[in-house]
Amino acid sequence: MQYITQAEKLFLLRTDETAYLLLINEYGHPEHLHYGTPVALADAAALRYKRTMPYGAEVLYAEDDPTYCLDNLPLEWSGIGKGDFRVSPIELELPDGSYTCDFVFQFAKLQPGARGAATLPGAYAEESADAETLVLTLKEKVFALQLELIYTVYPHENVITRSSVLHSQEASPVRIRRMMSQLLDLPNDGYRLVTLDGDWIQEAHRHDRALMPGCFVNESTTGNSSNRHNPGVMLAAPTACEDSGNVYGFNLIYSGNHYTAVELSPRNMVRIVSGINPLCFCWQLVQGETFETPEAVLTFSSHGFNGMSHNFHEFILHRILRGDWKAKDRPVLLNNWEAHFFDFTRRKLLRLARRAKKLGVELFVLDDGWFGARNSDHAGLGDYTVNRKKLRDGIEGLAQRINALGMQFGLWFEPESINTDSELYRNHPEYAMQLPGRTPALGRNQLLLNLANPAVRDYIVENVSSILDRANITYVKWDMNRHMSDMYSAVCPAGELYHRYILGLYEVLERIFRPRPHILLESCASGGNRFDLGMLCYSQQIWASDNTDPIERLKIQKGFSYFYPPVCMGAHVSQSPHQQTLRSTPLSTRFNVAAFGALGYELDLAELSPIEHRQIKEQISFYKQVRHTLQFGRFYRYQLPETNKDVFLAVAPDQSHAVLSFVQTLATAGDSNDVLRVKGLDANACYRLTAVPQKVSLARFGGLLKHIMPFTLRADGFILRTANRVHALPDGPFSLCTSGAALQSGVGLNDQFIGTGYHKDLRLWGDFGSQLYVVELEQEEEAE
């Protein structure tokens, strides 16, 4: 099927539910007509921006046309110096010393499938029929520069990607100071701008703001895509909510400094440009060379934020993820970090692993501290010699013992960094990124290795590959724990270093993991400091945050879910009180939040009570039954009137079952009854809704216990403390059978505890309480 049609320099790009319409106008400029709900080629004249009168302060492009001003047109690309004063997608220092550039249409080409980049990762189509690509070739009017604007349509994902490529045949070098991946001009519809912002341990918090005149920039300057501002950006109509209204989504397949500018012009037009951040960027393009930008990803939905998210999730699942793990259920893992930090031996690790195996864990992960003099974060990074005092049989011996227990084995690396107290630094200080004559700034007691240097890349590839090939390692956690500073390299100009570092990173990942597709790679950068589409081209999941407090994780995982599916989010159950917040939360809530991701545990199992061991074993057993739906199902967020409650929902593609997590942050006194609504089901089918069994500890009731006992016991006394280790009460049992229509309308839940008595069916949630609910299609004979 053809997804792109053209007629007389008019181009219509169609997906299953959207249309993108543009034309090459009479002056050779690509002019934007429409992006949104489906339209036809025949609608072009009606949709075109009308020019009937000049307006004040305009700069005319053509002397004989008083209405043609580039500053007053919706465009697909623009330059500098010809009358468009909005944010520009390109800034070139040309051989004549000027910055003025004017690219006009030369020819167009259609091709099946996706067009991959030579230097960057990108989206792909396994079959040529799965996508179609339009390439508009423009030529600079004066200089021998050719610009390609590339549009690839992924119809079933309702996504269009855009990128740009600049070719030079100029005898003198051209300096690129800014080159964006895409430009889009839209008529303003009172849009809200929605971004995901934060910091370490508070990643991806959603922020909404009204568009105001001027330019808002969502960017990263840390060298990574950053935990401060994720590359994903949304434009939402004023009334758009989770399930209805027009929402545009923009993202970038890039892991370095990104830049998205959203400008509301005086003529009430919204311009969106996105690409590599121009900060400290200057790329010299010589004759015969090409520079290509990362792919920008665009989508539109009239079904609200959830509709936009569904497009992005499908796109990532089918067009970004690669390797053997692309569509495979992620294993339940146990990471030893919070149990041991650096203080472990083989005996300690095997003791923890045996306990994990009894609970149903499938993958044991050894974190930091296994190499060199790595007994703290002050030494050892850059070295790959196994610490035989801790692991006398080496990594291969430990892996064999873990495998013998019936579990897979995984290993942590931090290959991009170096401690000055390391053998590598003593032998090759030039490998570190630092400025001659200056004392380098440390982050977490370390420097970055200069991945722009081919020798550094070879060193990382050789050493990591050697470890991976000596042992049966099926999972790697690739960490990167600091922002970039002291940007200097002897092998490339300063203006190219940020980008060449990322190109070097992609090369390293390509060389290590493409030949080893059996390895599940989890990217990490101090948590979600590099949670982006570029990394997902290599890593099938990303550690969402170092913060494992489930109440904080609600905001973090919800934020990331706007662009990234749950299967991509590493999510762990950890000890309580939590190491990041000192908040105490029930074990059930820790699981109920982490279950909406790639589930892991990160705690010392020896410190758990017998009742907690049983609960974790039950959690893992349940998760294995429903994990494909939790990881790959259609994910929904809820927009609740109560600010202290949140709901996550995953629905199987065939609508046969669903899993829902209902979480309460702070309890309110005398709370009203809750209504549970389940989206995405077959309205005419009959379903059974069941609360997943969970326990609430006796200690939850404190001094109330002495009022219901026939004799008085101290709430913190020996007897009740002992009882609390081996016994717990059922929490919120619930089951009913009803139609999908009723579940979508909303069914009432049992009361929460409000201090007036006890009933076996009460929801005993309190602060930070929650429950999982399973929805299963009833058999026809049972429904009748």
Single-letter code of the amino acid located at 390: K
C-alpha torsion sign, points 709, 714, 718, 722: positive
The CA distance from 240 to 223, in Å, is: 34
Greatest alpha-carbon pair distance for the chain in Å reads: 99
Q: Is 343 noted as a catalytic residue in this protein?
A: no
Q: Which of 523, 518, 519, 520 is nearest to 533 (CA)?
A: 523
Which is the catalytic residue, given 71, 102, 130, 479? Answer: 479
How, if at all, do strands 520-523 and 205-210 pair? unpaired
Residue 284: exposed, middle, or buried by beta-carbon count in 10 A (0-12, 13-18, 19+)? middle
Check residue 106 and report its DSSP letter.
E
Check residue 64 and report its DSSP letter.
T
Q: Which of 275, 280, 93 is nearest to 180 (CA)?
A: 275
The CA distance from 268 to 548, in Å, is: 43
The CA distance from 80 to 1, in Å, is: 39
Q: Is 421 noted as a catalytic residue in this protein?
A: no
Task: Return all residues near 656 (Cβ < 8 A) that are at least 6 apart.
Answer: 776, 777
Taking a C-beta distance cutoff of 8 angstroms, is the pair 296, 249 a contact?
no
Task: Return all residues near 680 (Cβ < 8 A) that are at least 6 apart.
Answer: 634, 636, 649, 651, 655, 658
Single-letter code of the amino acid located at 460: I
Task: Return all residues near 140 (Cβ < 8 A) that are at least 6 apart.
Answer: 101, 102, 103, 146, 147
Q: According to DSSP H, which parts of 642-738 are helical?
A: 705-708, 718-726
Q: Which of 335, 326, 422 is nearest to 371 (CA)?
A: 422
Taking a C-beta distance cutoff of 8 angstroms, is the pair 381, 419 a contact?
yes
Which is the catalytic residue, given 71, 368, 532, 546? Answer: 546
Buried b (16+ CB within 10 A) or exposed e, 150-179: bbbbbbbbbbbbbbbbbbbebeeebbbebb
Residue at token pair 């992609």: 506
Phi and psi dihedrals of 300, rounded to 5? Answer: -140, 145
CA distances from 758 to 666, 690, 704, 727, 770 (A): 20, 21, 11, 17, 18
- Three-state SS letters, 383-417: CCCECCCCCCCHHHHHHHHHHHCCCEEEEEECCCE
Check residue 449 and report its DSSP letter.
B
Check residue 753 and report its DSSP letter.
P
Task: Return all residues near 363 (Cβ < 8 A) that are at least 6 apart.
Answer: 331, 332, 333, 334, 407, 408, 409, 410, 474, 475
3-state helix, strand, coil in the chain (%, to 5): 25, 30, 45
Residue 217 token pair: 């920039």
Taking a C-beta distance cutoff of 8 angstroms, is the pair 735, 691 a contact?
yes
The residues carrying an active-site annotation are: 479, 546
